[in-house]
Structure 1
Amino acid sequence: MDWDKLRIFHAVADAGSLTHAGDKLNLSQSAVSRQVRGLEEQLNTNLFHRHARGLILTEQGELLFDATSAMTKRLDAAAARIRDSEEEVFGELRVTTTTGFGTLWLAPRLSKLYDLYPDLKVDLMLEERVLDLPMREADVAIRFKEPSQADLIRKRLMTVRMCLFATKKYLEENGTPASIEDLSEHRLICQNTDSDQVGAGLNLIQSLLMNDVRSLLTVNNYFGVLQGVLHNLGIGVLPDYVVQEFAGLVRVLPETESAEVPVFLAYPEELRQSQRVAAFRDFVQEEIISYRKALRDQRK
C-alpha cells in the first residue's frame, strides 16, 4: 500500500477537511483529493462521507485511521529514539499526570529542569484520564497507582495522603475544630464524589460527608479546592504535599487523613535508552529527595 497516500489520508482524517490537510502538507486541495480518491480506488471502498461541513470517516475509514494512527505513533517513537543523543538532552518530551499534581507540585519545579536542559521541550498534559503509554499518547506518566501494563518501566516515587487544611486567617476567624463532629460548624471544600480522583481521597471525602456537614463547596479538581481554601472559604481536603508549597496553610485534625496513595513514574520499555526520559526521571527523583528533606526540616 502506498505510504504517501496513507500519509495524506491520515492528515485529511485528522483535519476533517481537504483544504486544512493540504495546508498542513503544503499540497493543493486538488492534489490531496486525487490521492484520497486513488486510495479509495485501491481499497475499493469509500473512506469518507462528504458533506457541506467537511468530511466524516466511514466505518472502513475509521478502521484505516486507527491503523495509520498507530503507525504514526510508532514512527514518532522511532524518530525520537534516533534523535536521542548519548550525551545531549533535547527535543520534545510529553509528560502526563493529574491536574492537581501537575499544577501544584510538578509545574512549579520545572524551571530547574530547563536550567539543566535548555533545549528540552516539555509538553505537560494534565488530565485525570490515564493515557496509553505503549501507544505513545505520552512519553512519561506520573500516576497515582501502579501501572498494570507489562511493557512499562515503573519507579515508585513517593506516597501521598489526603488531609484537611485551612488558612490561619480562616481558623482565627472561625475557630479550629477539635473533632470530626466540629466540622458541622465549618464549610467543607472537597472534590465532588462523581469526579475522577484517587480512591483513598474519595473514601476520606465520603466518610467526612457522613457527618453533619451543613455547608459544602465541591469542585471537580484539587486545584479548585485549593483556591477555595486559600481564599478563606473553609476547610479543604487536599494532598499533603501542598503544605510545603503554601506556607500559610494549617493542617486541621491531623489524625484525620486518607490511606497512603502510591505515586509511580512510568514510561514505555522502548524508551529505556532515551536521554530525555532519563533526564526527566532523574530530575523528578532528585526533587522528591529535596521535597522529603524539606518536610523533615519543617517537622523539627
Structure 2
Amino acid sequence: MELSQLRALIAVLDSGSVLHASKALKVSRGTLYARMTALEENLGLKLLVSTNQGVIATDYGRQFAAEARALLATADAMARAARRQRDELLGELYIRASVGLPPQLLMVLMRQIGKRHPELAVRFEITRDPAADLPADTDLVLHFAPAVPAGPFRTFVLSRFPEHLIASTEYLDAHGRPQTLEQLREHQLMSWCPPGEDGSCLPLLGGGSFPITPDLVSDQVYVLHCLAAAGHGIALLPDSQPMRHLIPGTPREVVLPDLVGRRSSLWALIPEAQADTPRSQAAARLIREVCSGVFSLHVEQIPEG
C-alpha cells in the first residue's frame, strides 16, 4: 500500500469523478485507475462504486477513507517537520517573546520580517519567560532581561539597553530631584521586574543593590515608560533613544545616573538541538538583519559558557 494510492482514493471521493481527480493530482486517468486497482487488490475489498451521481464509496470504502485521511494527515505533518529542518524559511516561523517588549517594537519587527519574506507566516507568542518550557517547534526566542537564561541555546545579543531611574521633567520640577538613595523613599517609585526578579531592589553601578518598596511593580516596560512620561513617579526601566522614540511623551530625565543602573539586553535564543540546521541559521540571520536595522547597532554572538 502506497501513499499515492491513498491520495488517489481521497481525490476520487472528494471530486466524485476519476477525470476530476486525475486533474487534481496531475496524473493521467490510466495512472489513477492503476493506483485504485492496486489498492483494492491489495485489500481484497471493493472501495468505490460508480453511480448516476458519480463515483461513491462502498460501506467499507467510507470507513477505510476516514482512516486513510488520518494517515495522510500524519504523513503530511511528518513531511512538513522534515522540511522545517531541511529548508531555510518555509511555512510558519514560530517566535516566543518576552512580556513587556514595546508593542511598537514588535510591530516594526513583524513589518520588517514581512518585507523580507512576504510568503512566511509568523506565529508570535508573548509570555513571561519565553525560554521556559519551550515547545519543540519553536524557531526563535526573544528574551528581554539583564542576563541570558540558562539552557541549551545558541545565544545572540540583538541590542543592549541601559537601565536607569527615569522620570518626567514635569514630575521632577514638581516633587524635587533626589540627590541620594535615601531621598528616593520620598517619591512614587515604579520598578520593572524581568524574569527571575521581583522589582524590590535597585541595581547599583558600583555593585550590589538598594532595597525599595515600589508603589508599582510590572514586567510591562511600555506601561512603565508611559507612566513615567505622564508624570506618575520615578521608574526603574530599560532606556535608550530608540526606546524613547517608540514611546513618545514629555521630556524625561535620568535620576541618580552616577548611582543606579545596569545594562539589559534583547537576546535571541535558538535551541541548540536545531541551531546548525539551515532553517535555524536563516532565522538567526533574519532576526539579526531586522534588529540591526531597527536599532542601528552591531549584533554580536556571545561565546558559550
TM, length-normalised to structure 1: 0.57
TM, length-normalised to structure 2: 0.56
Please say if residues 99 and 219 of structure 2, whose CA atoms lie closer than 8 Å, have aligned partners that are also in contact: no
**Cα distance in 2 between the residues matched to 1:146 and 1:72:** 36
Aligned-partner residue type, residue 167 of structure 2: A
Unpaired runs of at least 5, structure 1: 1-30, 36-70, 294-300
Q: Secondary structure at the match of 2:257?
A: strand
1:187 alignment counterpart: 188
Aligned-partner residue type, residue 222 of structure 1: V
**Cα distance in 2 between the residues matched to 1:264 and 1:170:** 33
Q: Secondary structure at the match of 1:255?
A: coil
**Cα displacement (A) at 1:97:** 2.0
Instruction: Please list, as runs of the form range in 1=range in 2, the aligned pairs for 1:196-215 lying within 5 A after superposition.
Output: 197=195, 199=197, 203-204=201-202, 207-210=209-212
Q: Percent sequence identity over matched residues?
A: 20
1:251 to 249, 254, 260: 254
**Cα distance in 2 between the residues matched to 1:204 and 1:74:** 49
**Cα displacement (A) at 1:238:** 0.8
Higher mean C-alpha deviation, range 273-282 or range 91-100: 273-282
Output the aligned Cα RMSD.
4.0
**Cα displacement (A) at 1:216:** 1.9
Q: Secondary structure at the match of 1:256?
A: coil
2:118 pairs with 1:115: no
Larger Rg: 2
Aligned-partner residue type, residue 216 of structure 2: L
Closer, same or farther: CA 202–250 of 1 in aligned 2, 3 Å: same
1:141 alignment counterpart: 141
Please say if residues 131 and 149 of structure 2, whose CA atoms lie closer than 8 Å, have aligned partners that are also in contact: no
Instruction: Please list, as runs of the form range in 1=range in 2, the aligned pairs for 1:1-300 lying within 5 A after superposition.
Output: 77-82=81-86, 84=87, 89=89, 91-101=91-101, 103=103, 105-131=105-131, 135-143=135-143, 144=145, 145-150=147-152, 152-191=153-192, 197=195, 199=197, 203-204=201-202, 207-210=209-212, 216-241=215-240, 242-246=243-247, 248-268=251-271, 269-270=273-274, 272-274=277-279, 277-287=283-293, 290-291=296-297
**Cα displacement (A) at 1:237:** 1.0
**Cα displacement (A) at 1:166:** 1.3
Please say if residues 153 and 266 of structure 1, whose CA atoms lie closer than 8 Å, have aligned partners that are also in contact: yes
Deviations 1:17-66 (A, max 9, x none): xxxxxxxxxxxxxx8xx98xxxxxxxxxxxxxxxxxxxxxxxxxxxxxxx
